[in-house]
Amino acid sequence: MSKKAWSGRFREDLDRRVEAFGCSLDVDVAMFEQDITASIAHAEMLAAVGLISGEEATLLVTELERIRDELRQGTFPLDPAREDIHMNIEAALIERLGDVGRKLHTARSRNDQVVTDFRLWIREAIDRLDSLLAELQRAWLQLARRYQQVVIPGYTHLQPAQPVLFPHYCLAYVEKFQRDRDRLRDCRRRVNELPLGAAAMAGTSLPIDRELVRQKLGFDTLMANSLDAVSARDFCIEYLACLTTVALHLSGWAEEWVIWNSATWGFLTLPDRFCTGSSIMPQKKNPDVLELTRGRTGKVLGALVTVATVLKGLPLTYNRDLQEDKPPVFEATRTVMDTLQLAAPIVAAAELDEARIRQAVQEGFLEATTLMEYLIGKGVPMRTAHELVGRLVRYCEDHNKRLPELTLTELRSICPAFDEDVLGILGPEKAVQAFRSVGSTNPELVREQLKRWSSRLGV
């Protein structure tokens, strides 16, 4: 169907090159479920207010459901000449129902129709993402439980810093992904506002009932301004910002585990089923999934930049530029979902090399900060204590010793404030016991956090 065929305004058919240039069918076909759901609600509303008869609404709903089944089965004929999925569905209704099919678009424009479908699609995506993030959190908890007593080196600047319990490390990611879930849920509130009923941009003179449609589609509120309703895409920006943060968290984890999995570090082993080999080096076992997780973050961030650029400087209300909002949203969503579907099983099945980790925590003077705080507790000023422990570290380097190997005499040669009780905090396993602050790696506090999260996530 050409432009001339469905609009009486034009004297000639649309140039085929323009037709191909403007076609979005290959992208927006992804919204056929949402389009039919919204169209059914719209048809039922039209009948409720008397703009069509009950019998006509029944015919429309029945045929829409039939079209939905055909689309699900891949038997519905899609015609690129009809520009998008919305016009394909409407054209099929007209072909099958005649004038009844022509009535569905009463009091509706593609401007408010498409953005309603888009909001429904993103709403459903948010709900699926929330489920996947919760599954990943549960995987981190399961891993933490398997290695509850393991102490690992904590790093700053990728240099050994302080000892931490491995479950404390796992819980850091549980917290990060919870914030991601919270952000998505908050975003969902602004996504879940109904634009349908704004028509092209100014509303309609016909007696529609937007509230009825809102209830049928499960939106929280009606968009209050018709101009804003058809033009607003800030919900896309917010949604993509949420996805970008998820991708950044996943990328940071992937980078860390690529390092930990390397032969140089050897902290953990990844399951064979999530790794690949080399085309030339028989010994290789490459963490490709983690590397792709890290690499594909650029796609998600790029989607955010793309949509922000599309929206930059657009005047009210609808402009065809807005057709370009969907491809980046769909691709970013697919990228994050695909990554999350692999992240949870990788985390759940990873295995620590406890012997290698025990060796690593003995290096790097991880107890130094705890030793400094010991002196502070003995009345030594912080900066003085910092300098004294620095001298102890230098002494250990000069004599090829670790801090726990120092005798009390050696410790007192640097600072007389050291007493016999200092031996109770030397060594990584002892040092973690010394932490007291809320949120720290103290074993008792970590156990409480594990219990709290296990209850919250149902594992």
Residues belonging to the active site = 157, 278
Question: Do residues 187 and 239 touch, judged by C-beta distance below 8 A?
Answer: yes
| Dist CA 141 CA 147 (whole Å) | 10
Contact partners, residue 395, CB within 8 Å, separation at least 6: 401, 406, 410, 414
Question: Do residues 269 and 350 touch, judged by C-beta distance below 8 A?
Answer: yes
Residue with tokens 């888009």: 118
| Dist CA 98 CA 312 (whole Å) | 42
DSSP E strands: which ranges in 205-303? 221-222, 268-269
Q: Looking at residue 15, what DSSP letter applies?
A: P
What crossing angle do the helices spanning 297-311 and 326-349 adopt, rounded to 10°? Answer: 160
Q: Cβ of 52: how many Cβ atoms within 10 Å?
A: 20
| Dist CA 202 CA 227 (whole Å) | 6
Question: Do residues 233 and 227 touch, judged by C-beta distance below 8 A?
Answer: no
